[in-house]
Structure 1
Amino acid sequence: MDRNTATGLFLISALLLVYLFFFSPKDKVEKDKAQATTSTAAKPAAATAAAALPAVPRLDSAAGPARSIELKNPELTLTFSTQGGRVAAVRLNNYKTFFGKPLFLLDEQSARYNTRFRTLDGKTVDFSALNFQSTGAQPAADGGQLLTFVAPVAGGTITQTYTVPKTGYEVKYNLKLAGVNVAQEPLQWSLQDNVRQTEQDIKQNRNHTTINHYSTDGKQNNLAETSEKPEETKVTEPLKWTADKHDFFVAGFVADSQPFTSGQFNANVNLTDSTFIKGLSTQLGLPVADVTSAAGGQYRYFFGPNQFNLLKSVAPEFDRNVYLGWGFFRGVNRFLVIPVFNFLQQYISSYGVIILLLVVLIKLVTWPLTYKTYEGQARMKVLKPELDEIKAKYPDDQVKSQQETMKLYQQFGVSPLGGCVPTLLTLPILFAMFQFFPNAIELRQQPFLWATD
């Protein structure tokens, strides 16, 4: 390897490190931490955002006062409430916020699930007004934990069953209405999610937070991430899944039996609020024939990190919650950068070193072309006297001069554009890496040299 190649490797490596270090605004860590502390100035904004949650209806069940039930596995701590028979809080056990606090993907003060439907006589049944009965967790067939909530309503019963896995982030959910005089229209499932700041850079945290949804015909769409204006999308086609993407984490809902009939998605931003960075709202239609069937409606919640390899197995195209760039660059990341990255991290603990090795590997792969470039440059130097002679021979005839020059190139096997080929092949890979690294949760809170995250 000559001096020019070594210099090129050094410059490309330095470029990647500088990009990663300066990718987010240069706010001081102390300033960011101060934003996350509860201050007198921040309280009104937080109160305003929290008020966006729907008011909790008064309980009309005789099942006693509402109570909480907590289930755990190595990855998740889930808090369920008998009021509504819902997931009330989700803690990711293996992650913390930038501020060193436990990371709650959802909590009682910031998020709320609910389901509503109408009966044949026109009355509205609101799950959050029902205090479901539960006998607590039971062993599941797969080694996990089974939690069932039951409430009598409209001449029948509502049964909600959650299956928390022994390990992992996917929680199975079954909803069944038996003997209920339900109107023949979709049930309305909803999630109101006021997203808390969990990362150092509040602007990037906000701009990477959105709602993604995927239809049964293979279309994936989302609300505009960087918009500071209210966003709304209504979808009338069947949907397979929807996901609240919180920068590096995802709260998803997947239909396994029948697809959701429709969806409405909203996002609102309050730039003065440093506690809740964005308000997300999702409403989905659940097919009445599905939830009233003998098996009930079968769904899955996903509460976990926004990690490509993990999301691939959740649902079709669920890995698109990880932004890898558009078109060609996404393909480069998916089939080249990520497989090599995954291989290297099996043997190397420092992600900074992995990044440097990725750059070196790119140069090694393109080395044959680079060598041809150097060889062509050497030939060009040898041909320079003859090229100067052609220019002197045809000073006023550019066409003839060009023809003789190309003839000379062909005679000696020289391409004037040969030096561009290695660069053109390398740049797309580098651009793809620039899209992957800021969105890779593996690099979250990982230090390297002077960079703390």
Structure 2
Amino acid sequence: MDRNTIIGLTLIFVLLVAWQQFLAPTAEEIEQQERLQDSIAQAQQRADSLASIEETTPEEIQLATGADDSLKLVQRQAGFGPFAPAAAGKSETVTLENDLMKLSISTKGGRIKGALMKNHFKLEYKEDGTEEEVPLYLLEDEKNKFDYFLPIANLPSGGVSTGDLYFEVAEAAPQKVVLRAKASNGGYFEQSYQIEDGTYNVDYDVRFENLNSVLAANTDVIQLSWVNYLDKLEHNETYERRYSSVYYKPIGEDPDYCSCTSDDTEELGDEQIKWISNANQFFNSTLIAEEGFLGATVETRMLPEEAADLKLLVSEIGVPYNRGSSESFAMHMYVGPNEFDRLYAMGDGLQNIIPFGWSIFGTINRWVIRPIFDFLSGFIGSAGIVILVLTFIVKLALYPLTYKMLYSQSKMAALKPRMEGLKDKFKDDQQAQQMETMKMYREFGVNPLGGCMPMVLQMPIWFALYRFFPASIEFRQASFLWATDLSSYDIFWRLPFEIPFGFGAHISLFTLLWAVTTLIYTYYNTRHMDMSANPAMKYMQYFMPLLFLGFFNSFAAGLTAYLLFSNLINITQTIVTKNFIIDHAKIENELEAYRSKPKKKGGFQQRLENALKEQQRIQEQKAQGKGKKK
């Protein structure tokens, strides 16, 4: 190696040493990196302690002698503080069962993770169009939560969620279980469940034993977080989604609910709340406080139609805590079907979660239509036949109004020949024709709206029944003729494509027959009516049934069956009344007798006649003005 080579290598070495010294971190930078690494390690330890705790029993923790076991214990103490003994364990399922339901309760979190309804099923539709009954569960979604947050000072998270704790079974019986999450000071948080035969009610209590020295000193409310993903239980998802929401009842006030058709949040502040209910169309899970919850926030979140779940319901509930050495908070749960009598017997307006409607419509359904249906069901086994008999009773009760409507129509029909004469006399003057028509009505004492008012008076019954059939669990999966579920639409013919505007991919035969009978009834009922003054009305009355065909095609078969039966009874009543009950000769005599009486000024017809005269005068003035301009 020559001298030049040695000099070159020496210079390169010196440059490398100088470069390393130039890039080397300062003492301050090294210290900062060490602090960062320590912070990362501590954060990882907290994450491991909260999310990745191995399933070991408290006895194994106490007997651990190795370094790994000691490290795990330290991690649990850092993450759970005094509840470190309950931070590890094995998740097991405890079962409570009666003649109506079967509850599965997890020792991890101590919550109900499934409630089997023994007398109710879901119907799953196969590709070949057949139906299969499968078990129906409530509160079964793995994403659900029912966690109490126990505030504890000096913990990074501010407290402990009971959903992360493992509960020990302190007492077990076929219909009762007591679960405890123990603290290191000998205290515990307790949840107890008890059921009895013949009911969907669950006696549910929580207990704080010797936790006043464990929980944060300023704690006066324990927050309960209830997250419930509602399952799709019905075939008609559109109406199931429409009738599902969070209901709640402030003490001293009427029950209320979140929106059923959009995202909604209700902040109840510090109000005392008696109960909060997560309601499907025909089932509900309700938490009831004996003394009242202290404030709540309830929320309904809509999910996409293609989602596996129906809706997401979230409730943040305040449970009062008095910081005593031993205290409990008594509650009840109702986990079961929306049966009116059961819910009504529990009190506090719980029956209002059944979506019968509010105001007069809900009143009619709850206290008129429902009792009649229940009475008839005691004698008649078929829900479809009960609907037929119910329709007959409703039509019979409304017959006085129907008779008045038909009688008014008969008086209009008696005047029709005279009306034809007016049309011929004033065929070139529409205003004069209308004014002379009003004079004739007044002269013979005929009210052109007399046939409409009885129909308007029946509308509260119709609107009530519109809500009654899809809300009554008695129609759920009840079959009649070709319909397999009267609470959903009947499928007589499946279509290979989807028709928009709510029509669906099926044909409902009840709806189709209703539309046909409506057209027949309309034709027969109005063939003697004079509609020359408003020809568009003549065609509109035939267009309306076709328009509503799409609306009712996806509605409850119970309602469309009622509408069909109602049309058939209407046609029968109309034919019998007009041909055998109403005396048309007597009507002619009444018209002539009224014509000969002296007439009083005023009244609706007189005001209408005056309005027509004023309208005619204005038009004549406009015509004269145009003539002068020319």
Q: Answer yes or no: is 1:104 the counterpart of 2:137.
A: yes
CA distance in 1, matches of 2:233, 2:388: 28
Residue 196 of structure 1 corresponds to which residue in structure 2? 231
- 1:202-227 C-alpha deviation (Å, 9 max, x unpaired): 34333433222222241533333223
Q: Which moved more, 1:55-64 or 1:344-353?
A: 55-64
Q: Structure 2 vs 1, CA of residues 88 and 56 (structure 1 numbering), >3 Å: closer, same or farther?
A: farther
Residue 283 of structure 1 corresponds to which residue in structure 2? 316
Higher percent of residues as helix = 2
Residue 516 of structure 2 corresponds to which residue in structure 1? none
Q: Structure 2 vs 1, CA of residues 354 and 284 (structure 1 numbering), >3 Å: closer, same or farther?
A: same
Q: Answer yes or no: is 1:406 the counterpart of 2:442.
A: yes
CA distance in 2, matches of 1:130, 1:306: 33
Q: Answer yes or no: is 1:185 the counterpart of 2:220.
A: yes
**Does the Cα contact within 8 Å between 2:138 and 2:335 map onto a contact in 1?**
yes
Return the offset for 1:386: 7.8
**Does the Cα contact within 8 Å between 1:119 and 1:154 map onto a contact in 2?**
no
**Does the Cα contact within 8 Å between 1:312 and 1:319 map onto a contact in 2?**
yes
2:94 match: secondary structure: strand
- 1:356-394 C-alpha deviation (Å, 9 max, x unpaired): 22221111112233334444444555566788899989x
Q: Answer yes or no: is 1:61 the counterpart of 2:85.
A: yes
Residue 477 of structure 2 corresponds to which residue in structure 1? 445
Residue 324 of structure 1 corresponds to which residue in structure 2? 356
CA distance in 1, matches of 2:343, 2:220: 32
Root mean square deviation, CA, Å: 3.2
Return the offset for 1:297: 0.8
AA paired with 2:282?
F
What are structure 1's unaligned runs of at least 5 residues? 1-53, 140-144
AA paired with 2:233?
T
AA paired with 1:90?
A
Q: Structure 2 vs 1, CA of residues 194 and 373 (structure 1 numbering), >3 Å: closer, same or farther?
A: closer
**Does the Cα contact within 8 Å between 1:239 and 1:263 map onto a contact in 2?**
no
Residue 436 of structure 1 corresponds to which residue in structure 2? 468
Q: Answer yes or no: is 1:72 the counterpart of 2:104.
A: no
**Does the Cα contact within 8 Å between 1:390 and 1:405 map onto a contact in 2?**
no
AA paired with 1:169?
Y
Select 1:334's aligned residue among 366, 384, 389.
Answer: 366
**Does the Cα contact within 8 Å between 1:187 and 1:285 map onto a contact in 2?**
yes
**Does the Cα contact within 8 Å between 2:227 and 2:312 map onto a contact in 1?**
yes
CA distance in 2, matches of 1:388, 1:268: 59
- 1:93-119 C-alpha deviation (Å, 9 max, x unpaired): 111112221001122624232111213
AA paired with 2:292?
Q
Select 2:197's aligned residue among 162, 166, 180.
Answer: 166
TM value normalised by structure 2: 0.55
Residue 263 of structure 1 corresponds to which residue in structure 2? 297
Q: Answer yes or no: is 1:360 the counterpart of 2:392.
A: yes
Bigger-Rg structure (1/2): 2
Q: Which moved more, 1:78-87 or 1:232-241?
A: 232-241
Residue 625 of structure 2 corresponds to which residue in structure 1? none
CA distance in 1, matches of 2:347, 2:325: 23
Return the offset for 1:287: 0.8
1:61 match: secondary structure: helix
2:306 match: secondary structure: coil
Higher percent of residues as strand = 1
1:330 match: secondary structure: helix
AA paired with 2:328?
G
Q: Structure 2 vs 1, CA of residues 272 and 58 (structure 1 numbering), >3 Å: closer, same or farther?
A: farther
Q: Which moved more, 1:211-220 or 1:70-79?
A: 211-220
Residue 106 of structure 2 corresponds to which residue in structure 1? 81
- 1:405-432 C-alpha deviation (Å, 9 max, x unpaired): 43542xxxx6544323432232321221
CA distance in 1, matches of 2:183, 2:396: 68
Report 1:200-211 matches (<5 A).
200-211=235-246
- 1:273-297 C-alpha deviation (Å, 9 max, x unpaired): 2x223222222111112x8586621
- 1:262-312 C-alpha deviation (Å, 9 max, x unpaired): 224242413432x223222222111112x8586621111110112333222
CA distance in 1, matches of 2:437, 2:241: 59
AA paired with 1:451?
A
2:288 match: secondary structure: strand
Relative contact order, higher structure (CA 8 A, sep 6+): 1
CA distance in 2, matches of 1:126, 1:110: 15
1:371 match: secondary structure: helix
**Does the Cα contact within 8 Å between 2:203 and 2:332 map onto a contact in 1?**
yes
CA distance in 2, matches of 1:159, 1:332: 45
The aligned length equals 387
